[in-house]
Structure 1
Amino acid sequence: MIKNISAVIITKNEEANIADCLQTLDFVNEIIIVDSDSNDKTVHIAGGYTKKIFNRKWDGYASQKNFGISKAKNEWILSIDADERVSEELKEEIKSLAFDKEGYLLPIKNYFLGSWLKYGGQYPDYHLRLFKKSKGKFSYGVKEVHETVNIDKKIIKKLQNPMLHYSYNSVSAYFHKFNSYTFLEAAGRFKRNKKPSWYGLFLRPSFRFIKYYIMKLGIMDGVRGLLFHLFSSFYVFSSELKLFEMFRFNKKEIRWKS
């Protein structure tokens, strides 16, 4: 039983991704874009698919997405990022849902440097992306850049077919976002007065690599798996180091960096 669904996407300089994302949303009847002062062709491209485009000063991932949800006319929300695609199999599965739950967990199929990461805790990477507007709201999880929707686990269901996530198609693309993400990670913890630690700086990156690359068999993903988990461990180190810097210099001006 197909329901009316509103897709919500937040963007900033996503001209390379947005068209491919929007082309997979032909089964929803509303698309909402919340853009944060893009200076490329993102808004122009998106305008070919929807008229509901809002410019909003960056206020954090959860806040931007909640703003988009507030503009939706439908009860059901599909939260999707610009570098994600709804697979044909997932599209058909959503169309056939009974919609008898409050939300649905979607398995995310993560691609890195053009290849699917099957191991290292990367699949199935379940996230609550399809949910009732009246029941779900984004809040920050453990990481500032990884927001979550809070709905009672007893009234949600896992879907079988994946959302495709083309996060980093090149090393350059990874490090282009790296500085922004580690800054936002540190800034969020700084605002919540989460103090840094030497454990976080030196041991957490090592434990992260051992857990995901070795214990969760990230090694099975070959060279790309090695690079991904090395980069991820360096991410942990860098965000902790930036947090040390913020507390040392008491930096109170926290803003979006692209």
Structure 2
Amino acid sequence: MNFVTIRKNKVKLSSIIIARDEEQNISRCIESQLNIIDDILVLVDSRTKDNTYQIVTSYPDVRSEIVEWKGFGPTKNYAISKTKYEWVLWIDADEELSKELANDLLSFKNSTPEFNSYFIPRKSYFLGKWIKHCGWYPDYVLRLFNKNFSYISENPVHEKLIVKGESGYLQHPLIHYTYPDITHYLNKLNNYTSLAAEEIIKNNKKVTLIDILLRPAFIFIKMYILKLGFLDGLHGLILSLYSSFYVFTKYCKVWEIKKSGRNLKEE
């Protein structure tokens, strides 16, 4: 994992969590970090309609703030600016530290980091089943970083961490409880495809009938056949089909925007 040198003064860790209507997940996320992360910061989207904020504030050692939504990247960059320590873990509200990853982070805190950032493998559950194929595992995500060399891109959707220098790897996974049911998946699909379509329009990317017809088919073939999604049974088939439908919907929305001249706003 490329951090072996012991130092007298431990590395201190902050974490950032952005949450909207996450009352079903937020406690699990926070509790997995207690006694591991030195500074836990949760920003709760002001549009939240459930008890997320009340749950967060029930943890006395967790800092929290209600914020106006400015997009994924800008909101997370704001969260980074509010952290106490230079090393930051970005973790989503529907994720938790596995016990093994928690131990990795404790070892990290007693080390001299070799890199400015570290990839963490992510283990995802889809409709209650751990997806082992479809390209979903190991799903390495760049989530542990020194904020002095890092920032998060401001893409409307699928924002990513931009870091100066090479990155290392941690061994054990984040646990991601993604899409507990089909309704949840379709709601996020509708929102995310609108954001992705707006980004394509903003970047003046040309979209043709080939994109609408062939890209979805390629995604299905890649996930279900090339990435062995069929080994995940019915879950793998559903995930591959829905992922294909995501791409189809995204490009259809680009066509709709260009045809109508109106924008598709995030709900």
Asked whether the two chains share a fold, i.e. TM above 0.5, the reply is: yes
Equivalent position of 1:131 in the other structure: 145
Question: 2:55 corresponds to which residue?
Answer: 45
SS of the residue aligned with 1:14?
Answer: coil
Which of residues 38, 45, 48 is equivalent to 1:29? 38
Mapped partners of 2:244, 2:116: distance in 1: 35
For 2:56, the aligned partner's letter is A
2:130 — aligned with what? 116
* Kept in 1: contact 2:13–2:88 (CA 8 A): yes
Pairwise CA distance, 1:140:
4.9
Structure 2's unaligned 5+ residue stretches are 1-5
Q: Who is 2:79 aligned against? A: 68
- How far off is 1:93 after superposition? 0.7
Identity of matched residues, %: 39
Give the aligned partner of residue 14 of structure 1: 22
- The answer to whether structure 1 residue 186 and structure 2 residue 194 are counterparts is no
The verdict on how the C-alpha distance between 1:56 and 1:188 changes in structure 2, with shifts beyond 3 A counting, is farther
**1:237-252 alignment, distance < 5 Å:** 237-252=248-263
CA offsets per residue over residues 114-164 of structure 1, 9 Å max, x none? 1111112111110110000111111157xx42111112453x111110000
1:148 corresponds to 2:157: no
Report matched runs for 1:189-204 at 5 Å.
189-204=200-215
Aligned Cα RMSD in Å? 1.6
Q: Tell me, yes or no, if structure 1 residue 221 matches structure 2 residue 232.
A: yes
Check conservation: 1:140, 1:146, Cα contact below 8 A. Answer: no
How many angstroms does 1:251 deviate by? 2.0
Alpha-carbon distance in structure 2 between the residues aligned to 1:51 and 1:76: 17
**Count of matched residue pairs:** 253
TM-score (structure 2 length as normaliser): 0.89
CA distance in structure 1 between the aligned counterparts of 2:201 and 2:75, rounded to whole angstroms: 20
Which runs of 5 or more residues in structure 1 are unaligned? none
Mapped pair 1:106 → 2:100: no
Conserved? CA contact 2:116–2:165, under 8 Å: no
